Amino acid sequence: MRTSLILILLAPALVLLTSRVHAQEKRKVTFTGLGRSVFYGDDLRQDTPVPDTVTARKLHSGHVLVDVGVQIRPNANTEVLGMVRVRNDYGGFWGSGVTFDVRQLYVKGVIGNIIRYQLGDINYRMTRYTLWNPDQEVVSSMPLLFAQQADLLNYDHFYNFDQAWRQQGASAEFGLVFSKWIDELQVHAMTSRIAPADFVTTHDRLFSGLSISLIQSKYLRAGLNYANLYDVAGTSRNPVSFHNPVLTGTLHGEVPLKTVRLSIDAESGRSRTYYREDPQAPEITGQFTEASLTAVHEKTGIRITALAKMIDAQFRSPGAQTKRIRYDAAPIAYSRITNDQVLRPLNMVDLMRESTLCMMQLSPSLMQFAPRYDNITPYGDATPNRQGTVITLAYEKKDSPVRLEASRSDLQEMRGEGTLRARTFTRTDIRSELLVHALFADWKKHITLSGSMRSDQTNRPEEGRVQGVDLRTQLYSAGLEAEIFTHLDLLVGFQQITYQGTEFTAMRDAYSQIFNFSEYEVDGTETLTGAGIRYRFSDSAFVSTQWNSFRNNDQLAAVSPYTMNQLVWVFQMKF
């Protein structure tokens, strides 16, 4: 409270100081950041024969925070950014709930007008098989009403739209331009520190990446990528060190025809996972190959992509297979419910708002996942032990109010797990968007309808005493964004996921090797509905209030069906 009052009193002085700085040093100093206030009001209702007298029915939580960053450009070739976060959780009094953290800190610039560098916090990505941050399950298909909460989570954990991982380290890049035959040669390199040493049993763990791209012309490009997660031997007394290098090659080519633009993309490579000075550790090698052909008819806006992939069961790439969500963690809101205080399983609401579930560093081993949400690509496009095809048909034209995309995946395991028979995977994914206001020439206020449907199926026939696999997941979502008055929007959202069937989940040892299987059976439905209003002060500031109701009805879970009603208030301003 006292800190918030001080900030309010100092605000005019800060504004005055900022204006003077901008007036005198317009190009040298820039202030940037974000201000946010969030409030959650939760109401839990359980369908239990005996009333729950232990769990509190209502929970209130929220916070106010300000991220204040200063960009300093001491010269034309150098930039320094420092950002501090001041956060006050609701319920803290007289400064007891206030925290101060350094959110970002980096230095970047150009050396000799040739090499670009960055030290400190960096956002980095390479390819989908070397360093890539795949979206969390279920959340990516949510309508705007629910995506507001997911956006808060993604911002706090640097989950950017470009799929980059936030790292702490150093990066450098430079390019060479040629006069003939080759347009340009680009080189990108980075090294980040994943985990610090404790000088006894844990080494310093680093991640290093190198990308070399040869641009022959705008129609042909080839690349070589190297990524390695490794321990620095000697930084602790432990003689064992972990290493996981991945080497891939990429190719992109375009063929401009008269009415159609064709493009070919391919990536192939291999990985090696081993432990030095550990005679019991296995050394595994894996490989993958992926190729796609895309045809775009620019006049009609139709795009067709045919993709074929083959990923070995032993392919390991921590930079591309690390998940955003830790399914072995517990949520904070209603973590235990019923009179027996049973641990509540994660649901789709947790995936869009629980910060404790988020992964911030690369994992050296395959993480746990939830087959009921995604059993086909739980580790993104680099999910191991998959082969098959993906066909995508899309329609998107500049002046058209309709956007459509449909894809069909037909995959299977390259090697059976626990049996010689391989699982088969099929997925049908349809996404659509309609700009209603674009249908009428005189309609100035925007109205957008969106919808999506995803149908997943995993099958494996019974073999001897090994039970068959039959797991089905259906995901539906729909959203409405309508401007009812100037800058005032009505938001409506619906999302439902149903899962039913049986599966076997792999149990892995310390070396990520399968040693047993656990029977997995689900039969449930999760439904999220809601409505809200949003007022847009500008493109970078808004305030919204929404009410939503989540219903969990899992017939086989340890907890009875329950409903969680939620009131959410959000104010956000970027500057």
Query: Contact at 8 Å (CB) between 250 and 212?
Result: no
Matching residue, tokens 């032993």 = 314
Give the span between the Cα atoms of 521 and 65, in whole angstroms: 42
How far CA 294 is from CA of 260, 265, 288, 403, in Å, comes to: 10, 8, 20, 18
Query: Contact at 8 Å (CB) between 254 and 262?
Result: yes
Cα Rg of the chain, angstroms: 26
How far CA 174 is from CA of 81, 114, 115, 183, 212, in Å, comes to: 22, 6, 5, 14, 10
* 34 three-class SS: strand
Query: Contact at 8 Å (CB) between 164 and 190?
Result: no
DSSP character at residue 18: H
- Tens place of pLDDT for every residue, the chain, 575 residues? 344 433 333 344 334 334 444 444 456 899 999 999 999 999 999 998 889 999 999 999 999 999 999 999 999 899 999 999 999 998 766 666 788 999 999 999 999 889 999 999 999 999 999 999 999 999 988 999 999 999 999 999 999 889 999 999 999 999 999 988 899 999 999 999 999 999 899 999 999 999 999 999 999 999 999 999 999 999 999 999 999 999 999 999 999 888 899 999 999 999 999 999 999 999 999 999 999 999 999 899 999 999 999 999 999 999 999 999 999 999 999 999 999 999 999 999 999 999 999 999 999 999 999 999 999 999 999 999 999 999 999 999 988 999 999 999 999 999 999 898 999 999 999 999 999 988 887 888 999 999 999 999 999 999 888 899 999 999 999 999 999 999 999 999 999 999 999 999 999 998 989 999 999 999 999 999 999 999 999 999 999 999 999 999 998 888 889 999 999 999 999 99
pTM: predicted TM-score of the whole model, two decimal places = 0.90
Closest by CA position to 378, among listed 490, 303, 458:
458
Give the span between the Cα atoms of 358 and 325, in whole angstroms: 5
Q: What is the pLDDT of residue 98?
A: 87
Query: Contact at 8 Å (CB) between 97 and 108?
Result: no
Q: What is the pLDDT of residue 479?
A: 97
Q: How far is CA 300 from the centre of its chain?
A: 32
Element (H, E) at 246: strand 241-256
DSSP character at residue 379: T
Give me the DSSP letters along 502-541: EEEEEEE-TTS-EEEEEEEEEEEEEEEEEEEEEEEEETTE
Phi and psi dihedrals of 513, rounded to 5? -100, 140
Give me the DSSP letters along 349-368: HHHHH-GGGB--S--SSPPP
Give the span between the Cα atoms of 207 and 5, in whole angstroms: 43
Q: What is the pLDDT of residue 27?
A: 63
Closest by CA position to 273, among listed 513, 507, 516:
513
Ranges assigned E (strand) in 331-401: 336-337, 342-343, 386-396
Query: Contact at 8 Å (CB) between 7 and 13?
Result: no
Give the span between the Cα atoms of 73 and 71, in whole angstroms: 7
Give me the DSSP letters along 123-155: EE---TTTS--PPPTTGGG--HHHHHHHHHHHH
Closest by CA position to 531, among listed 563, 566, 496:
566
Q: What is the pLDDT of residue 91?
A: 75
Give the span between the Cα atoms of 534 and 487, in whole angstroms: 8
Q: How far is CA 57 from the centre of its chain?
A: 31
Give the span between the Cα atoms of 567 and 546, in whole angstroms: 6
Tokens, residue 538? 């500008």
